[in-house]
Chains A and B, each alone.
Chain A
């Protein structure tokens, strides 16, 4: 009798090719897909901004109609917030946090994959409004009621916008929950919470705020959808208008920090690695992150100071208290730089650019946290300048710091340094030329969301500078895309650890294998395990067993 040897079943037979890429449950693939799609939406939202800036290049512009202008500012804000910065924050957390904490895979990978597709579906539903007869959403990215009800804004486009935002929020909630579960339950042995790297901590507080803030958005939008499409009136009268704003901003303020923390973490990692020093004041930083996220759940109504419907004093107090955690970050930054050995690579430049420019956004944030000052600044270009300094001059710079830092890890190839520095310089010039004059016209009284403006002294000049700045930003982004294309086409092989990294993602191959690590992890005794090893080698000196450790480091 012949024994028929059963053929071993391939354990992890996953489809390859493009089908494999879009159905993969690997956190790196989902993170990369999410990040790449977010970047596409960034370009789309940027084109909307360029058209708006062309319209505002003169006081009585005729580039687009008032109707189209409303569609543009609505879709610019909605695209950038729901489809670029927030999902990009989740994408970075999804890709990097499991690697940094030594996890082999994501918790709830199918849920995360589902979340990605729901989010992408939501984005496409929102953008599909451009093909509706009455155009896409046109009531701004926060679409206050009663303007956004079916009586004041009838039509399919606004319905699609409402449903698109709901879906995008559900998708991000699912993905955020999976990252949260991964960080809490899948850390490698030895990776205590207080040994997690800086970026992983920022990722943790980010997804904490995703799971606590995004349900409010889903509720606000779901109810708005019911209000618009059925006979049931949900948001009626004064109370309905205030309730909508309360629910919306209960999401809307935490999301501001969702769109900030991972980029802060990326900038901090880039700065620490390029300083050859671990991030300074780790415990204070972790405490400040937790304080930041707790406070951020209690500041929402500072968006509503002029409604007369909220307790301004309370929200002024919680908002101003954000000075403390924010101040600690800057202390830690300076502490990291002092005594380091600084290398001004592109990732370092973007990291420092993040901190310096975000300071303008943060300080103007303390300004608008004061109700008597906000009574003037609210709904003017001052506020536009403020949040673009946080989101663009801040988060987008932190994002680019992360891209230049981790691109070698993700692709195995380095980005070109020369093009990177051109990208940085152009982006600094373009950003400040675009957004700084907005403080001035805003202080002079120019409201946001107007397609034409009076010829007050300086307004045309300032607006023209902003338009030129926006053009320079566009060129800078093109330089970045060229850099990516060139670096992928003619690859400069990066190796596993091109920058002498501090954290576990640098202890595996570039790009990492499907289950992240093939070699045993180095011992984890702090938030910078690879730096620990390097210091150990240096201390041991030549010929005293240091060779073995250095072999371990370079293996």
Chain B
């Protein structure tokens, strides 16, 4: 099975939701504006106060719209969950959040990186590989937010959460804590360096036992 990234799922779902939203907004705004232009200051306002057949069919249409949106959302949610939980990972990274730093620990490679208020050692990952992140927090709730993946997950103290994510593009991207966690929350940032798999293998060998 080809790897699906959370970003692809987001973009596909957004490409359906966004036109619907814009269409509905334009439709109602146009109706309201046209009604205002057409029905301004007339002599005999209509007394019609309901139209049950029309209202009923409209409500049925709305139910169909809800069913359609839910079908899309629930199938995509299932895909995110299977990507996030069931993909066999080719790399494991333990991510620990604390006020106000990130620790990225690669247990197999014995590499550690720290970023945030204290430093700027990036999270380094291979592209097109499933990566298992074990998420934990030492103090308060943090949230790992990587806009490039269109994905975030809370780090809640007292439990370890597991997500499996895939980066499909190489490059350097931003990451940040998204859940307010106290005074230096704004500085709890990190960078993600996504390398082609061979380059990542060379990097991992070179940094074995050291820092990112």
Contacts and interface: CB of A to CB of B under 8 A. Distances in A.
Interface of A: 66-67, 70, 139-140, 144, 146-147, 152-153, 236-242, 275-284, 306-309, 312-313, 316-317, 320-321, 323-324, 327-328, 330-331, 333-335, 337-344, 352, 355-356, 359-360, 363-364, 366-367, 369-373, 375-376, 378-380, 444-445, 447-454, 456, 535
Contacts of B63: 324
A387 to B, nearest CB: 16
Nearest to B7: A376
A238 B42 contact: no
29 contacts: A70-B180, A144-B140, A144-B179, A146-B141, A152-B182, A236-B158, A277-B49, A280-B49, A281-B49, A281-B50, A284-B50, A306-B153, A317-B70, A327-B58, A341-B39, A341-B45, A352-B36, A366-B17, A366-B69, A370-B13, A372-B9, A372-B76, A373-B73, A375-B152, A379-B143, A380-B145, A447-B177, A450-B186, A454-B189
A135 to B, nearest CB: 12
Contacts of A378: 143, 152, 178
Nearest to A149: B140
A140 B70 CA distance: 32
A500 to B, nearest CB: 11
Interface in B161-193: 161, 174, 176-187, 189
Nearest to B179: A379
Given A372-B10, A372-B76, 15 more contacts: A66-B184, A279-B49, A280-B49, A281-B51, A316-B73, A316-B77, A324-B66, A335-B50, A342-B35, A342-B36, A344-B36, A352-B32, A369-B73, A378-B178, A449-B180
Interface in B3-40: 6, 9-10, 13-14, 17, 21, 24-25, 28-29, 31-32, 35-36, 39-40
A447 B69 contact: no
Contact of A445 (B66, B145, B182): B145
B35 A338 contact: yes
Contacts of A321: 66
Nearest to B35: A337
Nearest to A378: B152
Contacts of A239: 158
Q: 4 tightest A-B contacts by CB? A: A445-B147, A339-B46, A238-B158, A237-B158
A371 B51 contact: no
Contact of B24 (A284, A309, A328, A363): A363
Contact of B69 (A238, A242, A360, A370): A370
Contact of B55 (A67, A284, A447, A535): A284
A172 B139 CA distance: 34
Contact of A379 (B32, B40, B42, B178): B178
Contacts of B59: 284, 324, 327-328
B80 A375 contact: yes
Contacts of B152: 306, 375-376, 378-379
Interface residues of B, number: 73
B201 interface: no
Given A144-B179, A352-B36, A447-B176, A334 B45 contact: no
Contacts of B2: none
A363 B70 CA distance: 15
Contacts of B77: 312-313, 316, 370-372
B154 A308 contact: yes
Which of A343, A366, A375 has the most CB atoms of chain B within a 10 A radius of its CB? A375
B186 A453 contact: yes
Interface of B: 6, 9-10, 13-14, 17, 21, 24-25, 28-29, 31-32, 35-36, 39-51, 55, 58-59, 62-63, 65-66, 69-70, 72-74, 76-77, 80, 139-141, 143, 145, 147, 150-154, 156-159, 161, 174, 176-187, 189
A70 to B, nearest CB: 7
A279 B70 CA distance: 31
Given A334-B31, A367-B21, A444-B147, A375 B62 contact: no
Nearest to A276: B45
Given A139-B180, A147-B181, A376-B10, A323 B62 contact: yes
Contact of A370 (B65, B73, B157, B187): B73
A372 B13 contact: yes
A452 B186 contact: yes
B156 A307 contact: yes
Nearest to A330: B28
B37 to A, nearest CB: 9
Nearest to A69: B186
A238 B161 CA distance: 11
Contacts of B65: 323, 327
Which of A240, A360, A370 has the most CB atoms of chain B within a 10 A radius of its CB? A370
A236 B157 CA distance: 9
A373 B69 CA distance: 12
A277 B65 CA distance: 30
A237 B176 CA distance: 24
A95 B124 CA distance: 61
B73 A371 contact: yes
A378 B186 CA distance: 16
A369 B13 CA distance: 12
Nearest to A451: B186
A74 to B, nearest CB: 9
Contacts of A451: 186
A439 to B, nearest CB: 11
Given A363-B24, A453-B186, A375 B10 contact: yes
Nearest to B9: A372
Given A323-B62, A449-B185, A147 B180 contact: yes
Nearest to A535: B47
A369 B41 CA distance: 40
B67 to A, nearest CB: 9
A535 B46 CA distance: 11
Given A237-B158, A356-B29, A376-B10, A313 B17 contact: no
A373 B178 contact: no
A448 B139 CA distance: 20
